[in-house]
Structure 1
Amino acid sequence: MDKESIGTQYEPVAEIGEGAYGKVYKARDLKNGGRFVALKRVRVQTEEEGMPLSTIREVAVLRQLEAFEHPNVVRLFDVCTVSRTDRETKLTLVFEHVDQDLTTYLEKAPDPGVPPETIKDMMYQLLQGLDFLHSHRVVHRDLKPQNILVTSGGQIKLADFGLARIYSFQMALTSVVVTLWYRAPEVLLQSSYATPVDLWSVGCIFAEMFRRRPLFRGNSDVDQLGKIFDVVGVPSAEDWPQEVALPQSAFTPRPPKPIEDLVPDMDEQGRALLMQFLAFNPSRRISAFAALTHPYFQNVDSDSKNVYAAQPIPSNKPTMEERTA
Structure 2
Amino acid sequence: MAERKDNEQEYLFRNVQLFKNATLGTGSYGAVCKAKCDQLLCAAKLLYPVLFQMTVPDPGKEHRHPFRRFETECAFLSRVNHPNIVQYLGTYRDPDTNAPVLLMELMDESLTHFLESSPGDIPYHIQVNLSYNIVQALAFLHSNGIIHRDLSSNNVLLIAGNRAKVTDFGMSKFRDINATRLATMTTCPGTPAFMSPEALNEPPVYTEKLDTFSFGVLLVQTTTRQFPKPTDSYEMRELFDPRFPNQAIRAKVPVPEIERRQAHISLIEPTHPLLPIAHHCLKDKDAERPSSQQLCQILDALKRTPQYQEGSQQDLDQVIREKDEQITEQLQANHHLIIENEMVMREKNEQIAQKDMQLQTHQETLTKSYKQLHTQANEIQTLQATLQHEAEAREKQLRKLNQELQSSKENTFALRQVIDQRDREVSQLRQTLAS
- TM-score, normalised to structure 2, is 0.49
1:289 partnered with 2:293 = yes
Q: Distance in 1 between matches of 2:54 and 2:265?
A: 51
Q: Distance in 2 between matches of 1:82 and 1:255?
A: 44
Counterparts in 2 of 1:198 and 1:118: CA distance versus 1, 3 Å: same
Q: Distance in 2 between matches of 1:56 and 1:256?
A: 36
In the alignment, which residue of structure 2 is the partner of 1:185? 197
Long gaps (5+) in structure 1 = 1-5, 166-177, 231-248, 305-325
Counterparts in 2 of 1:44 and 1:62: CA distance versus 1, 3 Å: farther
1:203 deviation in Å?
Answer: 0.6
Counterparts in 2 of 1:266 and 1:208: CA distance versus 1, 3 Å: farther
1:151 partnered with 2:159 = yes
Counterparts in 2 of 1:272 and 1:79: CA distance versus 1, 3 Å: same
In the alignment, which residue of structure 2 is the partner of 1:194? 207
- TM-score, normalised to structure 1, is 0.64
1:9 partnered with 2:21 = no
In the alignment, which residue of structure 1 is the partner of 2:104? 95
In the alignment, which residue of structure 1 is the partner of 2:419? none
Tell which deviates more after alignment, 249-258 or 184-193: 249-258
RMSD of equivalent CA atoms: 3.7
Counterparts in 2 of 1:254 and 1:15: CA distance versus 1, 3 Å: closer
- 1:251-270 pair list within 5 angstroms: 251=253, 262-265=266-269, 267=271, 269-270=273-274
Counterparts in 2 of 1:44 and 1:140: CA distance versus 1, 3 Å: farther
Deviations 1:293-314, CA, capped at 9 Å, x for gaps: 12x5414169x9xxxxxxxxxx
Q: Distance in 2 between matches of 1:118 and 1:186?
A: 31
Deviations 1:162-196, CA, capped at 9 Å, x for gaps: 4458xxxxxxxxxxxx7421111112113222311
Q: Distance in 2 between matches of 1:276 and 1:259?
A: 17
1:82 deviation in Å?
Answer: 4.4
- Residue type of the alignment partner of 1:250: K
Q: Distance in 2 between matches of 1:256 and 1:131?
A: 24
1:75 partnered with 2:122 = no
Q: 1:41 aligns with which of 31, 37, 46?
A: 46
Q: Distance in 1 between matches of 2:119 and 2:73?
A: 40
Q: Which has the higher contact order (CA 8 A, sep 6+)?
A: 1
In the alignment, which residue of structure 2 is the partner of 1:61? 76
More helix by share: 2
| 3-state SS in 2 of match to 1:186 | helix
Larger Rg: 2
Q: Distance in 2 between matches of 1:192 and 1:98?
A: 34
In the alignment, which residue of structure 2 is the partner of 1:105? 114
- Residue type of the alignment partner of 2:85: V
How many pairs does the alignment contain?
A: 247
| 3-state SS in 1 of match to 2:99 | strand
| 3-state SS in 2 of match to 1:250 | strand
Counterparts in 2 of 1:55 and 1:204: CA distance versus 1, 3 Å: closer
- 1:107-126 pair list within 5 angstroms: 107-111=116-120, 113-126=121-134
Counterparts in 2 of 1:28 and 1:291: CA distance versus 1, 3 Å: same
Counterparts in 2 of 1:82 and 1:279: CA distance versus 1, 3 Å: same
Counterparts in 2 of 1:119 and 1:149: CA distance versus 1, 3 Å: same
Long gaps (5+) in structure 2 = 1-12, 56-66, 174-189, 237-250, 309-435
In the alignment, which residue of structure 2 is the partner of 1:276? 280
Q: Distance in 1 between matches of 2:68 and 2:157?
A: 29
1:274 deviation in Å?
Answer: 1.2
In the alignment, which residue of structure 2 is the partner of 1:235? none
1:132 deviation in Å?
Answer: 1.2
Deviations 1:229-288, CA, capped at 9 Å, x for gaps: 99xxxxxxxxxxxxxxxxxx5227789658996243263542221122101111222111
| 3-state SS in 1 of match to 2:43 | strand
